[in-house]
Chains A and B, each alone.
Chain A
Amino acid sequence: MGESLYAVTTMPTARQPGCPFDPPAELTDARRHGPISRYTFPGGRPGWLITGYDLVRSVLAEPRFSSRKELMRHPTIDYGDIEIPPAPPGEFLLMDEPQHSRYRKPLISKFTVRRMRLLTERVERITADHLDAMEEAGPPADLVTAFAKPIPAIMICELLGVPYQDRGSFQEQVDSFMNGETSDEDLIAAYTATQDYLAGLVAAKRANPTDDVLSDLTDSDLTDEELKGIALILLAAGLDTTANMLALGTFALLRNPEQLAALRADPALADGAVEELLRYLSVAKTFMRTALEDVELGGQTIKAGSPVILSYHTANRDPERFADPHVLDLRRRDGGHLAFGHGIHQCLGQQLARVEMRVAFPALVDRFPTLRLAVPPEGVALRPETADIYGVKSLPVTWDA
C-alpha cells in the first residue's frame, strides 16, 4: 500500500484564480486521495504532507512530533546541510517541553477567557474610533490600514506596554518581516530593528515597571533576553494573524452577501460567525513538525527525523469532519476547528483574538450598511502562498456616505 500512496511533488505557491478563500487545488487534491501524502523536501529528504483533520489533530497532540526550530527543514528552499540554530530564548512557539512551558506557563494567566473578556469595552472603544475616522474621511478606504491592522496592533501594544508614540514605526517593522514578500536583506534589517527596539523596551520596563504583561514578567526569573523573545513572539503571533482575519474575513463576508446580511440582522450570530470565519479562512494555514522517533501514522511509518507539513486549512475543510466544508455558513455549530492549532502549542492569544473579532466584525457591518468592494473581486491583491499567514494586501471598500 506504501507504493500507491499519493505523492505531492511541489508545494503550491498560489491559489486557484477566483478562489481566494480556498486552499490551493494541489492540497485539496492531496486530501481527496487520503489524509497523508508523501512530499520530498528540497535536497531529496523524504517527508510528509498531512491534509486530513483527524491526522493533523493527532500529530499536534503527539509529543513525539517536535516543534523545535533546529529540527525544521524548509519545505521549498534548499539550504543544504547548514545547521539551523535553536529558537532564541523566549521564542517558545518553536520549542518542546520542558523549555516551552518555562515560557508559556507564566503567560497563561494573562490571556485567560475572563481577562480577555474584560478588554471588550476597550476593543469597542478602539473599534468605534477607527470607524469614526473612516466615516469622517469618507469613502473609499483601504480596510487593511483603516481597520484591520490598527485594532489588533493597539491591543497587543497596550497589553505589552509599547508606548503610544512608538507604535507606528514598530508596526511597520513587524509588517515587513511578516508579509512574505520582503527581500532577505530588508527582512533581516526589519527583524534586527524590532529586536533592538524590544531589548530597549524590556530594559525600560525593568527600570520603570508599568501596568502591562511585560512589566509583570520582569517580576519572575526570566532574563532580559528571554523577555525580549517572549515579546517578539507575542507580537509576531498576535498582530498579523488577527489583522488578516479581520481583512480577509470582511472580504469573505462581502463575497457572501446572504451571510453578511444574517450577521447584520442577528447579533447573536457573532460568536458562531467568528468560529466559522476562523475555520473557513484558516489564515495560519500550515505548520511543521519533525518526528523524534519512528511513529505509525495513518498506516505509514514516519521515520525519526522526517519533516511533516501540516495543512490546517485543508484539515478545516475536511468533508469527513465538516459537512459541505467549502461553504461559509455562519450558523454552523460543529466546533473543533484547528485554526488555532491543537496540543500544547494551541494559540495562547486565541481568547484575545476572539474578543477582537467578536467586536470588530459586527461593528463594521453595522456602521456601514452599504459596505462593498471598491474594486472587482479579482482586483483584490492577495498575499502569496509563501507568506506564513495568508490574507489580502489591501482591501479597497466603499459605501454610500
Chain B
Amino acid sequence: MRITVDAERCVGSGMCVLTVGEVFDQCQDDGKVIVLRPEPPAETQDAVREAVDLCPAAAIALSADRRP
C-alpha cells in the first residue's frame, strides 16, 4: 500500500492524524497533512483505509504499486 495526499485539497480537519497518528501528521506551519509513512506498516493499513474514508476533503489516495 502506498499513500499519496493532495495538500491543495486538505482542509486541515486532522481526522487522518486522529485515526492513525503513526502514519499522518499536520505541518506545523500550515496545518496541512503530512505523510510520515508513505508505505504504512501492515498493522496500520486498516486504519489508513478508515482515514481515507473519513477525510472530509477526499485528499488522501491509496495505490497498490510503489509508483502510482
Chain A interface (Cβ < 8 Å from any Cβ of B) = 60-61, 101, 104-105, 107-114, 335-336, 340-344, 346-348, 350-351, 354
Give which listed residue, B13, B26, B30, B53, contacts A114 with CB less than 8 A. Answer: B26
Q: What DSSP secondary structure best describes chain B's contact surface? A: loop
Contact of A335 (CB < 8 Å), options: B25, B31, B54, B56: B54
Report B-chain residues with C-beta under 8 Å of the C-beta of A114: 17, 25-26, 28
With A347-B13, A351-B14 in contact, do A110 and B56 touch (Cβ < 8 Å)? Answer: no
Q: In the complex the two chains form, is A61's CB within 8 Å of B31's CB?
A: no
CB-CB contacts below 8 Å: B5-63 with A: 11-15, 17-19, 21, 25-32, 50, 53-54, 56-58
Q: Which residues of chain B are within 8 angstroms of A342 by Cβ–Cβ distance?
A: 56
A108-B12, A108-B32, A347-B13 known; A335+B58 contact, CB < 8 A: no
Identify which of B26, B50, B53, B57 contacts A112 (C-beta below 8 A): B26
Q: How far is the CA of A350 from the CA of B26 in the complex (A)?
A: 15
State which size class the interface on B falls in: 20 to 34
B39 to chain A, nearest CB (A): 22
Q: Is the CB of B30 within 8 A of A105?
A: yes
**Is the pair A336, B53 in contact by a Cβ cutoff of 8 Å?**
yes
Query: Which B residues are CB-close (under 8 A) to A347?
Result: 13
Q: How far is the CA of A340 from the CA of B28 in the complex (A)?
A: 23
| Residue of A with least CB distance to B14 | A113
A111 and B31 contact, CB distance less than 8 A? yes
Could you jot down 24 A-B contacts, CB within 8 Å? Answer: A60-B56, A101-B11, A108-B26, A108-B30, A109-B27, A112-B12, A112-B14, A112-B17, A112-B28, A113-B14, A113-B17, A113-B26, A114-B17, A114-B25, A335-B19, A335-B50, A335-B54, A342-B56, A344-B11, A346-B11, A346-B15, A346-B56, A348-B13, A351-B18
Contacts of B19 in A (CB 8 A): 335
Known contacts A346-B11, A350-B14; A109 and B30 CB within 8 A of each other: yes
Complex-state Cα separation, A346 to B12, whole angstroms: 9
A113 to B14: give the CA distance in the assembly, Å: 6
Q: Which residues of A contact B27 (CB under 8 A)?
A: 109
**Most chain-A Cβ atoms within 10 A of its Cβ — which of B12, B27, B53?**
B12
Given the known inter-chain contacts A335-B50, A350-B13, A351-B14, please indicate yes or no for A109 contacting B28, CB distance below 8 A.
yes
